[in-house]
Amino acid sequence: MKNNIKKNTIWNTIGISLNAFNSLFFLIFINRINGVKIAGIFSFAFSIACLLYIVGIYSGRTFQVSDLKGELNDREYLVHKFITCGIMIFFTLAFLGLGNYNVEKSVIIILLCIYKALEAFSDTFYGYLQKNDELHIVGKSLFFKSLVGLILFFIVDIYTKDIILSCAVLVINSLLFVIFYDIRKSVSYICEDVVKIKNVIKLFKIGFSVFAFSFLAVYIVNIPKYVIDMLLYDSSFQTIFGIIVMPGTVMSLCGQYIMAPLLTNIVECYNALDFQKFKKIILRIIKILLFFGLIVEIGAAFLGIPILSIVYAIDLSNYKLDLLLIIFGAILYAIAGILSTALITMRKNNMQLLIYMVDSVIGFIACYIFISIFKIHGATIGYVLTMVLHFLLYTVYFIFEYKKLEVISI
């Protein structure tokens, strides 16, 4: 097997980064070209697509790459992905059937869900590549697929001002990349094996907890958007909240970037029963995140609203406090994410699922109440309260589990 560590790390980081932030650029384009109302529809549709994307991937690559014993063969992972992507599209249609949306909004939701379903489908081919030390090819796929998609979307939208046609071009671009790049690059690594349905069903069973965990993680950060769609019929509210929550999303992703280089050290310390060093690394990451978060908060206080208003061509002067509160909530969410990773290392997963379930229920109730009264400001309050609760539950649980480790080490 090739030794592509440096190349894999660089390309994978670049690819994941652009893929993670492409919605930021889409919203800028649409808000300037199509207007605030269409941007709101797109923002909501994209949040639905991202949620249902978790159904499509269903934790597949997590188990695929770590399946060193060959519990499932390559074709069984592929069949599993066909099924999950089919379920994703079914849920999309079911959601639209229950939502009573107009044709334009429904078509945008369908197209963006197909776009994310193709991304989920690619994930299995990425798994084949990753297992064979070709992660740099995955990074290149994510990068160029996102870059070409953004360019084509911008060109089509600026000339036609047709959001549906622009989304359709996005889907076609992804489909072509899947067929002519993802499949072509990985096909030589796919073994010709017999598919056993019982193994495919087994993957649904063993992957359910990770799937549920991931689904709720995406859901809680998007609860305000879903409630805004339910209560506030002017889609411009969706655009405004989507813009002011964007820096918070970036802040949350920064926590993952800070954590990634030290993850191996965390696992090694835990496996070596060096719990003091384990705790020190966790606290060091949290301190780095808090320092970075403080800089972002100060920058946002002075420059956040003016910059966002210029970039997105919309007056956000009434939402300065909302922006600062959302960044604060995002910092707490990122810290909870670090504690979550530590708890996963400690093999403490079941209680985490319960935490997310509690957050989801209370977060929805809080958002519903406050958005009903305060509209956008209510969405901010609901978001922050959800993140505070999430942070507190994770902090208490981590302290509880770590104290048990200290007893063991004595």
Query: How confident is the model at residue 223, as a pLDDT?
Result: 96
**Axis crossing angle, helix 320-345 with helix 305-312, rounded to the nearest 10:** 100
Q: Where in the chain are the domains?
A: 5-206, 236-409
Asked whether residue 9 carries a pLDDT value surpassing 90, the answer given is no
* Mean local confidence (pLDDT), 91-114: 94
- Could you report the per-residue pLDDT of 74-87, keeping only the tens digit for each? 888 899 999 999 99
pLDDT tens, position by position, 187-198: 888 887 888 899
CB 374 within 8 A of CB 232: no
pLDDT tens digits for range 335-356:
998 898 888 878 777 788 899 9
Q: Is the whole model's pTM more than 0.75, yes or no?
A: yes
Cα–Cα distance measured from residue 70 to residue 64, given in angstroms and rounded to the nearest whole number = 9
Backbone Cα Rg of the chain: 21
- Helix %, strand %, coil % of the chain (to 5): 90, 0, 10
Angstrom distance (rounded) from CA 51 to CA 364: 15
Distance from C-alpha of 166 to C-alpha of 153, rounded to nearest angstrom: 5
- The count of residues in the chain is 410
- pLDDT score of 120 more than 90: yes
pLDDT at 213: 85
